């Protein structure tokens, strides 16, 4: 607003005031880079996911035998196998169920991230349902983050919906990514670069494991349900922490 006023000046200004107007214009020009920087920062901080730097679990399905159950996972229920599409291996789900990465049981790190890729066939096909679940020490399901029908997302913690956001548009054909960045009391969730949940405080939430639920559309044989490239890591520095380290 100050820049606009400086450029417009007073409607009754006399010719001799041109120098003052020019000076104000110069000040406005000097302010422009700052305004641009603020705009860039706003765009950058909207997507603030920082992957953890201490990997707890990673599976790109390398070395797995096609047609077999993925060896780095445990089965809760359902039917899963390793398949190859193009040059990449995936976990294929052919019947609704849930799998868990093989990691030591215990409280999750104070700060962690979880990521997985999933494949979307395209606009002419239905969108599969994928959920990332949290379980506690009693093996109770205490929360989940989900994507369904290629556009609807939801974060549910302790039997309460904390976020239900619809994406700006249906997901395009190809590979997409679900991401979680969490601490003991905060949770942020993302689909690709879109943040879809931002919970500043969660009480009484004490997960000890993470599992992946998959529910395919069985009436579309040409629309396989695929997930892969799963990464679970401790850490995940905030933008402020990164700036503080950089000085």
From residue 104, alpha-carbon distances to 57, 100, 128, 136, 187 in Å are 10, 11, 29, 13, 22
Cα 182 from Cα 30, distance rounded (Å): 40
What is the number of other CB atoms lying within 10 angstroms of the CB of residue 25? 14
> Is residue 19 predicted with pLDDT exceeding 90?
no
Count Cβ neighbours within 10 Å for each residue of 92-114 and write b for 16 or more, e otherwise.
bbbeebbbbbeeeeeebbebbbb
The pLDDT of residue 24 is 46
Degrees, nearest 5: CA angle 188-108-159? 60
SS3 195: strand
3-state percent helix, strand, coil for the chain, nearest multiple of 5: 20, 45, 40
* pLDDT given at position 143: 98
Is residue 63 predicted with pLDDT exceeding 70?
yes
**Percent of the chain scored above 70 by pLDDT?**
77
pLDDT value, residue 14? 41
Look at residue 2 in the predicted model and tell me its pLDDT: 27
pLDDT over 90 (residue 136): yes
147, exposed or middle or buried, with CB in 10 Å at 0-12, 13-18, 19+? buried
pLDDT at 137 over 90: yes
Greater confidence (185 vs 6) lies with 185
User: What confidence score (pLDDT) does residue 99 get?
Assistant: 98
Read off the pLDDT of each residue in 23-34 and give the average, rounded to a whole number.
Answer: 50
pLDDT given for residue 218 in this prediction: 84
pLDDT of 100 higher than 50: yes
Average pLDDT on 203-230 reads: 94
> What is the residue-averaged pLDDT of the chain?
85
Contact 160, 154 (CB under 8 A): no
Longest CA–CA span in the chain (Å) reads 85
Residue tagged 């931002």 (tokens): 198
pLDDT over 80 (residue 69): yes
What is the pLDDT, as a whole number, of residue 27? 47
Helix (H) or strand (E) holding 191: strand 187-191
**Percent of the chain at pLDDT exceeding 90:** 71
Q: How far apart are CA 103 and CA 18, in angstroms?
A: 72
Residue with tokens 């039997």: 159
CA 41 to chain centre: 19
Among 21-25, 31-35, 67-71, 124-128, the least confident range: 21-25
- Per-residue pLDDT band for 242 (boundaries 50, 70, 90) equals low
Residue of 210, 202, 241, 197 whose CA lies nearest to 73 = 210
* Residue 16 pLDDT level (bands cut at 50, 70, 90): very low
Q: With contact defined as beta carbons under 8 Å apart, do 181 and 49 qualify?
A: yes
Q: What angle do CA 50, 55, 56 make, to 5 degrees?
A: 125
pLDDT 10s digits, 43-55: 444 578 999 999 9
Q: Is the pLDDT of residue 42 over 80?
A: no
Average pLDDT (29-58) is: 68
């Amino acid at each position: 607003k100050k820049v606009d006023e400086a450029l417009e000046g007073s409607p009754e200004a006399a010719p001799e005031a041109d120098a003052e107007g020019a000076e104000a214009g110069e000040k406005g020009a000097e302010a422009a880079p700052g305004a641009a920087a603020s705009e860039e920062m706003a765009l950058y901080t909207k997507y603030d996911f920082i992957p953890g730097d201490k990997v707890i679990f990673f599976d790109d399905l390398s070395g797995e035998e096609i047609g077999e159950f993925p060896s780095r996972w445990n089965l809760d229920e359902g039917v899963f196998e390793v398949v190859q599409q193009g040059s990449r291996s995936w976990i294929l789900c052919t019947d609704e169920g849930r799998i868990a990465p093989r990691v030591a049981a215990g409280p999750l790190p104070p700060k962690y991230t979880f990521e997985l890729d999933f494949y979307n066939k395209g606009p002419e096909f239905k969108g599969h349902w994928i959920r990332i679940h949290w379980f506690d020490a009693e093996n109770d399901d205490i929360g989940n983050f989900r994507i369904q029908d290629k556009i609807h997302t939801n974060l549910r913690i302790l039997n309460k919906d904390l976020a239900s956001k619809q994406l700006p548009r249906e997901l395009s054909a190809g590979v997409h990514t679900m991401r979680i960045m969490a601490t003991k009391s905060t949770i942020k969730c993302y689909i690709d670069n879109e943040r879809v949940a931002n919970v500043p405080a969660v009480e009484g939430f004490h997960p000890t494991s993470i599992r992946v639920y998959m529910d395919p559309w069985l009436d579309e044989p040409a629309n396989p349900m695929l997930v892969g490239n799963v990464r679970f890591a401790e850490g995940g520095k905030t933008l402020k922490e990164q700036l503080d380290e950089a000085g």
